[in-house]
Amino acid sequence: MSYLRSLALAATLLTPGFAHADEVSDTLKSALTAYEEGDLSYALEELEFAKQLMQEMKTADLAKFLPEAPEGWTREVSTEVSAGMAIFGGGAGSEATYSDGSESFTITIMADNPMVGALSGMMQNAGLMGMKLERVGRMKYLNQDGELSGIVDGRILIQAKGTSIETMKTILTEIDHRALEDFGR
β 74-78/92-99 pair status: antiparallel
Query: Cβ(27)–Cβ(50) under 8 Å?
Result: yes
User: What's the pLDDT at 20?
Assistant: 41
Give percent of the chain above pLDDT 70. 75
Same domain for 47 and 18: yes
Sheet holding 133-136, edge to edge: 74-78, 92-99, 104-111, 156-161, 147-152, 139-144, 133-136
How many Cα atoms sit within 13 Å of 67 on the Cβ side? 22
Among 104, 79, 105, smallest CA distance to 94 is for 79
Lowest mean pLDDT among 9-18, 62-71, 90-99, 119-128: 9-18
What are the tens digits of pLDDT across the range 109-123?
Answer: 988 877 777 677 667
Lowest mean per-residue pLDDT among 23-32, 80-89, 125-134: 80-89
Same domain, 50 and 73: no
Split into its structural domains, the chain has a count of 2
Using the 3D structure, point to which of 61, 77, 101 is the last residue of a domain: 61
